[in-house]
Amino acid sequence: MKKTLVLFLMFCMFLIPSAAFANSSTDQEPTVKEPTAEEIAQLNEALDKLIIEANKKLEAGETNLFLEEKVGETDGSVSLTFSLNDTKQKAGLQASAVTPKAYRASVGYDGIGFDFHHELGGTFTYENGKIKGATKDVALTGVFYSESHNTWIDYLDPSVWVVNSEGLFKAFKYGVEYKTSLVVGLYGSGDYRILQANVGN
């Protein structure tokens, strides 16, 4: 009887650490909390405010911006980053009629149930109020997500080109996906504006 009791106690002592280890591993595994429809609406409201503020600063001549806004009552935030550089000056080239510029805009969503960023950039050249050419480049990042995008340029007229980028973030493990949109207007004056930035599912 004593021998049986000793064996039983030893068996229990072996099981307890194993169970504790299993629980600790599960607790440490990262999870994605899907945002509610209300939180997504609050996020897009915050983005609309940032776009208005950013475009005012761009109109005032600022060319490098970082803006951030808290999202509603959540612990999360959304950020917009802009930069506009004269590539001719950076390269030390002589003045010419055709002026090249590099543009870059990015939007980041942090702590709202997902953490991912959508960046759109490239170069464009302009001359006599008209755009002569433009390139586009996209970078998407998101922990736990696979990323893909569809990016194109709409040629509205010779002085206005619009660069559109739609991102798709999929978290297969959690069965959720989100779509982001980032739209930049390029102008023959050498300016650019953020026309749209949002997220939805």
123-139 pLDDT per residue, tens: 999 999 999 999 999 99
Q: What is the structure's pLDDT at 88?
A: 53
Residue 114 neighbours by CB under 8 Å, 6+ apart: 32, 35, 142, 145, 169, 171, 178
Token pair listed for 187: 């102008």
Residues in the chain predicted with pLDDT less than 70, given as ranges, are: 1-33, 86-97
Q: What is the pTM of this model?
A: 0.76
